[in-house]
Chains A and B, each alone.
Chain A
Amino acid sequence: MWRDAWLVAAKDLRIEVRSRVVLNQVVPFAVVVLGLFAFALGPDRTPMVQGAAGLFWVAVLFAAVLAIQRSFAVESSDEARDGLRLSGLDPAGVFLGKTAAVAAELVALEVLLSAGVVLLYGSHVHSWGTVVVAGVVGTAGLAAVGILYGALAAGLRVRETLLPFLLLPALAPVLLAGTRAWQAGLGTGPGGDSADPWVSLLAVFAVVYLALGVVIFGPLQEGG
C-alpha cells in the first residue's frame, strides 16, 4: 500500500511540475477570490483584517475543489477511473497517494496565499507555529475528504457541478476550526481564545478521513 501510494503521489506531482496547472491557474484563482472579498467588504481595511482568517480558508476551500477536479482529470481524458483500476495498484495506496499529492499542492498554495493575505489585508502573524500547524493538519483532512468525493464524482457527466455541492458542506468543520485557529494565530480573534481545541479538531478530522479513505476507496472503485 505505501509503495503504491508513493508511486501515485510521485506520478501526480511530476505531472503537476510539468504542466503547472495548479500553479498557473488555481493559485491565481485563489488570489482573485481574496481580491473579490476585498471588493465586497469595502475599501476600509478593518473588516478585511477582522475576517482575514476566515476569508483565507474560504479561498483555500474553493481552490481545493479545483485542485481535486484536476487530480482526477489527469487520469486519461475519458474513463477517468479505468486507468488506475487497470493498473493493478492497491486502491488504498491510490487514495493515499492522490491525497498526499493534492495536500502538497494545497500547502504550497497556502504559503502563497498567506503572503497574499498579509499583503492585501494587512494582517500580522502573531504565532507562526499555530498558523503553520493548523494549515498543514487542516489541509490533510481537506485533501482526504476531497479525494473521496472526487472519486465518487469522477466519471459522472455532472461532476463539475456535483463535486462542489458534495464537498463543501462536508468541509464545514475544517472551515470553522481552521478559521478559529488562524484567528488565534493572527491575533484577530477575541482575546483569550486558544487555538488548541481547534487544532485538535482538525487533527481528528484528518485522522478519521484518512482512515475511512483507506478502508472505503477499494469498494468505492469497484462496480463499473
Chain B
Amino acid sequence: MDRAVFLRAAVALSGRFPALAGVDLTVEIGETVVLEGANGAGKTSVLRVCAGLLPVTGGEAEVLGCDLRHRPAAVRRRVGLLGHTSALYDELTVVENLRFAVRAAGADVAGIDEALDRVGLTGRLRRTTVGRLSAGQRRRVALAVLVARRPALWLLDEPHAALDAEARAVLGEVVRHAVDHGATVLMASHEPSASFPLADRVVSLAGGRVVGSRPVPATASDSGAESVAPTGTGGTARRAVVVGDVHVA
C-alpha cells in the first residue's frame, strides 16, 4: 500500500445533494496536496469522505488501505481532520481536551506537552477552559490535537482562515514537521500564497469533480503555465487552471 488516498468516480451524497459527483483523486504517501476551488466545489466533502465521515455511495474509495465503502470507521484512528468547527469541549481545559482526544485515539499521552509547545500554547493558557479562548487559539488547540495524535493522514480544511501571521508560521512548521516524519497531508485552501509553499501538488475541484491537477508552480507568479493533463473527464485540460477564484500574490 503506497497510496494514502484513492478515489475513483466517487459519489457522496449530503442529504439528497450530490456533494461529490464523481471524484478521481490519488494521493501518494508522504505527498502534500492542496485542494482548490470555489465555495461549494466539494473541497470539504472530499476531506470528510477521507475521514470516513461522509459515506461514499458510488465509485471506489480507499484511504490508507481501508475500503471506505464498506468499513469507513476503520480509518478514523489513523486520520486527523482539522475542520471548520473544532470538536472541542467548551467546559474542559485545553489540557483536558487534549488528554481526552489523545486517549480516545489510542495515542501516547506523553506527547501532549510537546504538542502544546509546538503550537505555542504555553503556561496559563493550558489550564483555561476552551470556551474562553479566541477563535484563533481554539484553532491552535485543535492543531495540537492533531500533533499529539500523530495521524498518518492529515486533513486540513482551510487551516489558514482565522489565523494571524504568527499562527500561520506555526501551522507551516507543524505541517512540515509532520511530513518529514512520513505523514500525508491533504489541505483545502482559498489562499495559495499560504498553502502553495507547503505543497507538492495542487488539485482543482469544481461541481463535485476534479477538473485539474498540476505541480505547485516554481515561483508564486507562475500560475497558469504548467497545467498538466487532468484526471477528470477529457476535454477540460486548458481550462483547469482558471477554475475557481485562485488569487495570485
Contacts and interface: CB of A to CB of B under 8 A. Distances in A.
**Chains A and B touch (C-beta atoms under 8 A apart):** yes
Contact of B103 (A7, A74, A85): A7
A76 interface: yes
A11 B88 contact: no
B85 A222 contact: no
Chain A contact patch, size range: 20 to 34
Interface string A80-102: 00110111110100000000000
B46 to A, nearest CB: 15
B92 A14 contact: yes
A88 B76 contact: yes
A82 B55 contact: no
Interface in B8-50: 13-14
A74 B97 CA distance: 13
> Which of B13, B54, B76, B87 is the most central at the interface, judged by chain A CB atoms within 10 Å of its CB?
B87
Interface in B116-140: 129
B92 A224 contact: no
A82 B96 CA distance: 19
Contact of A222 (B13, B14, B55, B101): B55
Given A7-B103, A14-B96, A82 B87 contact: yes
Contacts of B89: 11, 15, 74, 76
Contacts, number: 65
B91 interface: yes
B72 interface: yes
Chain B contact patch, size range: 20 to 34
Interface string A1-20: 00010010001001100110
B81 A86 contact: yes
B77 A15 contact: no
Contacts of B243: none
A218 interface: yes
Kindly list the 3 A-B residue pairs having the minimum CB-CB distance in the complex, ordered from nearest: A83-B87, A88-B77, A87-B104
15 contacts: A11-B89, A11-B92, A15-B91, A18-B91, A77-B85, A78-B85, A79-B85, A82-B53, A85-B52, A85-B76, A86-B51, A87-B104, A222-B72, A222-B73, A224-B53
Given A11-B89, A85-B76, 20 more contacts: A4-B104, A7-B103, A11-B100, A14-B96, A15-B92, A18-B92, A18-B129, A75-B87, A76-B89, A82-B83, A83-B87, A85-B53, A86-B51, A86-B87, A87-B101, A87-B104, A88-B104, A89-B104, A91-B73, A223-B55
